[in-house]
Amino acid sequence: MKKPNIFILLICILNLSFYNKAFAIGQGQTEIRINVPSRTLSLYKNSYLIGEYSVGVGHSQAMMTPQGYYKVEKKVIDPIWEHPYKPEGAVRISNYGKNPLGQRWIGFFEDKNTVYGIHGTNDPKSIGKFVSHGCVRMNNLDVEEIFDLVDIGDTVHVTYNRFELSQDADSIMLEIFPDPYKIKALNETEIINEIVQIAPNIEINHNILKQALAESNESNIYEVGKIIKQPQYSAFPYNQAPNNSFTNHYYSNYISAPVLPAQFQQMQMPIIYQPSNY
């Protein structure tokens, strides 16, 4: 029985029978991570981020890019697009400028009715939007770049994460992503728990966090906490305390305190030991 036509992105069908070039089988050291709400594709090599790209993803819950772990199954140069509403073979496009698939196809999942892949586009304005029939649409130069960096067998991980946390020297930043399919509400407790895991010594700004949750239909970045720095102690040991007195010197985020050698050994605190002439 002839296999039914399959939808790919926009209203595309990919005919892989025109391609006979083989590619190397990878060792799984390269991973593609796609987060649907942020519309980003991140490329990792040996767990290190080596590139991040804006992508287009499924336009509705019915056409949502499927979550889960997959493998790169096919790599195609100059894929053929066929019109899904015409008889098979009636309309085929392979021209670079007009092909909805661009010049590269990286297939990662196929069921009985649909195939999903990462590919280029003839509509660059659609990148970064919820526009496809489930595939992952990239700028042509971007997909050509990652095409050369991934192998058959490499991991493709599709997630649906509504927020992302990052840390600089003093702050925790929260980036919120929209939920166009209305399938995953943000949870304040979950966000707080992840913040505390990243930075246990943090003062969370709950007003800003509530504002972020209230504005969660749009992509925005918020500073939701300040890291509380613990003072470091610089110990100056000496043999005899002058007049049995101790003097602590405070500067910047450090406290320097003269202590006797025996006391220095017994102090239960983080210490930067600096010998002195006392």
- pLDDT at residue 240 in the model: 43
Neighbours of 188 (CB within 10 A): 12
- pLDDT at residue 39 in the model: 97
Please name the residues in contact with 138: beta carbons below 8 A apart, sequence gap of 6 or more: 41, 53, 55, 56, 102, 118, 119, 120, 121, 127, 146
- pLDDT at residue 241 in the model: 44
Spatial distance between the Cα atoms of 41 and 136, rounded to a whole number of angstroms: 9
Per-residue pLDDT of the chain (278 residues; tens, 9 = 90+): 333 333 333 334 344 433 333 344 455 589 999 999 999 999 999 999 999 999 999 999 999 999 999 999 999 998 877 766 666 665 667 666 678 888 999 999 988 778 899 999 989 999 999 999 899 999 999 999 999 999 999 999 999 999 999 998 889 999 999 999 999 999 999 999 999 998 888 999 999 999 999 998 889 999 999 988 765 555 544 444 444 444 444 444 444 555 545 555 555 544 444 444 43
Do residue 112 and residue 70 come from a single domain?
yes
- pLDDT at residue 218 in the model: 86
Phi, psi of 210 (to 5 degrees): -65, -35
Query: For the chain, how many structural domains are there in total?
Result: 3
Do residue 46 and residue 106 come from a single domain?
yes
- Write out the residue range of the structural domain in which residue 257 sits: 232-273
- pLDDT at residue 64 in the model: 94
Do residues 94 and 32 touch, judged by C-beta distance below 8 A? Answer: no
Domain end call among 210, 227, 244: 227
- pLDDT at residue 168 in the model: 87
Do residue 94 and residue 203 come from a single domain?
no
In the block, tokens 């981020």 appear at 49
Domain end call among 159, 180, 207: 159
Spatial distance between the Cα atoms of 37 and 16, rounded to a whole number of angstroms: 30
- pLDDT at residue 200 in the model: 87
Residues with a catalytic annotation lie at: 119, 135
C-alpha pair distances (Å), 35 with each of 2, 66, 167, 184, 234: 34, 11, 20, 13, 46
Query: Which of 116, 123, 155 shows the shortest CA–CA distance to 140?
Result: 123
- pLDDT at residue 19 in the model: 36
Q: Is the pTM of this model over 0.75?
A: no
Do residue 29 and residue 135 come from a single domain?
yes
Spatial distance between the Cα atoms of 157 and 147, rounded to a whole number of angstroms: 16
Do residues 118 and 161 touch, judged by C-beta distance below 8 A? Answer: no
